[in-house]
Amino acid sequence: MEKMKRIFDRIEGLRNAMIEMQIRLSSVPAISPESGGKGEAEKADILLDFIHENGFEDVDILKAPDLDAETGYRPNIIARMPGQDTARTTWIMTHMDVVPPGEPALWDGNPFKPWVEQGKIFGRGVEDNQQDMVASLFALKTIRDEKVKPRTNAGIALVADEETGSGKGIEYVLKHGNPFKPEDLILVPDAGNSSGTMIEVAEKSILWLTFRTIGRQAHGSTPEKGINSLRAASYLIVELNRLYELFPEKNDLFDPPISTFEPTKKEVNVLNINTIPGEDVFSMDMRILPIYSVDDVVSSIREMTRKIESLFGVMIDIQTVQNAPAAPPTPAEAPIVRALQKAVKAVYGVDARPMGSGGGTVAAIFRRAGYPAACWSRSDETAHQPNEYCIIDNMVGSAKVFAHLFLQEE
């Protein structure tokens, strides 16, 4: 207990240094080339300077080729500190890339000139994912400065490309120089809640579909000469709501505990009121409980579209935007879950419990590859929003949780 108190006190003393690191990192727009940015190389250089200045000796840089990036590659940083048990490693994986800021007018300041206000840091990327990235770095710095040896090897993975698919990020790392072992403890601080009581161990399947309904354009005053694609698509949306009846099971591990089938994006069809649209496009976001097969859901959807095609004389094309079947869940008694529960209890005095998520995280990539990863973070979930912020106390608290996790104190 005395050792952890010393470490927690030292982390508190590094609060200003952590804020400065956040501001420095957020001043670099590490946006994927796919989203119009230059990539993560400049941000990676800042992180590597910190890593080398703080005595990390076992450091690898895995460069995923990307001709669209300014440097021609996307960097992935792997750094380790030896522990008492050198056969296993406790990992914390965070990502360097951020999403574009969106509409500038919705921000109270420049998203890439971070500002501090009322105990929060504002800026693009400060919560997603720099809060826990900075916390992991300073947790290891503190352990090293205190000359304490972790229970296992302590590792951090700072990866690219999380926001646009992970093909040049963690998926590339797993295929090229993979440092992970099935017996390792792997934490991905990419999901959580404001109280820190959620340890994400399971995800729903994700299915995104775009429906293109093709009819025949005509003048609004002569509908008999056309086939109204908007009317047919509207009936289809109502028909698709029956998916809630066809796949009604509940699982209280998840919040919400049901599968969800929601129409979302609606594209422009015609620009004037007096034209019957010959083509109409909308999309759906579906999060499906693992008990159901995605193929069964797709089969039901195709049956519904055939019904609408027959009723209205339209043709409906379905494009799959994303189809990510649920990964095998991490067991609720997995070592990473138990270690996290102890760490969260020690820092926040609350009982964290294993839960499922409706969203997708990169932990699913680990789980599909046979690594029982868990997600945890304490945040207000402002990721991707205007005026994204990180609560400074959450960043400092995460550093304490991560230090406890690396040391695995009883």
Lookup result for tokens 């990721």: 383
pLDDT of res. 57: 79
Considering the entire predicted model, what is its pTM? 0.85
pLDDT of res. 63: 98
- Residue range 102-121: average pLDDT? 96
42 and 152 part of one domain: yes
Q: Is 273 helix (H, G, I), strand (E, B) or coil?
A: coil
Domain of 235: which CATH number? Answer: 3.30.70.360
- Residue range 163-169: average pLDDT? 92
157 and 63 part of one domain: yes
Tokens read off for 16: 């200003």
Q: Of 307, 324, 341, which residue sits at a domain end?
A: 324
The Cα-based distances of 131 to 21, 22, 200, 389, 394 in angstroms read 10, 7, 18, 9, 8
Tokens read off for 258: 């049901």
**What is the C-alpha R_g of the chain?**
24
Q: How confident is the model at residue 174 (pLDDT cuts 50, 70, 90)?
A: very high
Domain of 363: which CATH number? Answer: 3.40.630.10
213 and 314 part of one domain: yes
342 and 278 part of one domain: no
pLDDT of res. 56: 83
Q: Of 324, 345, 369, which residue sits at a domain end?
A: 324
Mean pLDDT of the chain: 95
The mean-pLDDT minimum among 10-14, 280-284, 340-344, 358-362 falls in 358-362
The Cα-based distances of 17 to 50, 57, 134, 248 in angstroms read 12, 22, 10, 50
233 and 320 part of one domain: yes
134 and 193 part of one domain: yes
Q: Of 296, 324, 352, which residue sits at a domain end?
A: 324
pLDDT of res. 324: 85
139 and 244 part of one domain: no
Residue 230 has pLDDT above 90, yes or no: yes
Residue span of the structural domain in which 357 resides: 2-202+327-407
- Residue range 116-141: average pLDDT? 97
Known catalytic residues are 97, 162
Sign of CA dihedral 380, 384, 387, 392: positive
pLDDT of res. 410: 59
The Cα-based distances of 136 to 30, 74, 90 in angstroms read 19, 21, 11
Q: Is residue 266 within a helix (H) or strand (E), and if so which, with residue range?
A: strand 260-266
Q: Is residue 197 within a helix (H) or strand (E), and if so which, with residue range?
A: none
What pairing do the DSSP bridges indicate for beta strands 152-159 and 85-95? parallel
81 and 179 part of one domain: yes
223 and 311 part of one domain: yes
257 and 384 part of one domain: no
CA angle 54, 57, 61 (to 5 degrees): 100
Cα gap 50→87, rounded to integer Å: 26
334 and 285 part of one domain: no
- Residue range 139-153: average pLDDT? 95
The number of folded domains in the chain is: 2
Q: For residue range 298-346, list pLDDT tens digits in order.
A: 999 999 999 999 999 999 999 999 898 898 999 999 999 999 999 999 9
311 and 188 part of one domain: no
Q: For residue range 274-309, list pLDDT tens digits in order.
A: 999 999 999 999 999 999 999 999 999 999 999 999
Write down how long the chain is. Answer: 410
pLDDT of res. 19: 98
Q: Is 408 helix (H, G, I), strand (E, B) or coil?
A: coil
Tokens read off for 224: 């008999």
